[in-house]
Amino acid sequence: MLDDQIDDTSLTGSPDSLEAVFKYIDANPINFDDISFVSNEWLITDELTKKIRPPKLYEFLRLLLDNLFYISYASWLNKDEGLFKIHKPLEVAELWAKVRGRCTNNTIDYDKFSRSIRYYYEQNIMIPTRTKYTYRFANNK
C-alpha cells in the first residue's frame, strides 16, 4: 500500500519525494475498476445555504488532490503555488462524471473535462500553464 512506503510528511513537493511517489505509481498501477466509488466522500457543504451538494469542478479537483487514495490520478507538484498534475486524465474525467451524478446520455472524455477547466481561466479560478495535464489554481486557499 502507498501509505506503507510513503508517509504524509514526505509529500512536501521536493523533487526527491515526488520522484519516489511517481516511481511507486509506475511500479504499482491502480486499476480504475478496482477502486470502489463512495459518493458521500465527494459531497460539499455549501457555505451560504449550509446544504450538502455535489462539488463544483474546482472543488472536486481539490478533494481529489488532497485524498492520498487518488494520488495515482493526480498530485500536487507545488501545493503552496496551487500547481498540480493529472496523471490519469481519462480516469479523472470518468471519476468526475460519477461525482457529478447527473443522468445523461453524453459521455465525458478528457477533452470535455479539460475544456471545463479552461473555462476557469476567464473566471480567475485557474491560471494557464504550458505543460500538458498540468494546472494551477489562481487562489490557493
**Domains in the chain, CATH or no CATH each:** 2-137 (1.10.10.10)
**Residue 136 forms beta bridges with which residues?**
83, 127
19 burial type by CB count under 10 A (0-12 exposed, 13-18 middle, 19+ buried): exposed
16-47 pLDDT, tens digit per residue, is 677 777 777 677 665 555 556 677 789 999 89
Cβ-count burial 101-116 (b if 16+ within 10 Å, e if not): eeeeeeebebeebbee
pLDDT at 75: 97
**Residue 85 forms beta bridges with which residues?**
75, 134
What is the average pLDDT across 115-123? 94
70-96 pLDDT, tens digit per residue, is 999 999 999 999 999 999 999 999 999
Is the predicted pLDDT of residue 63 greater than 90, yes or no?
yes
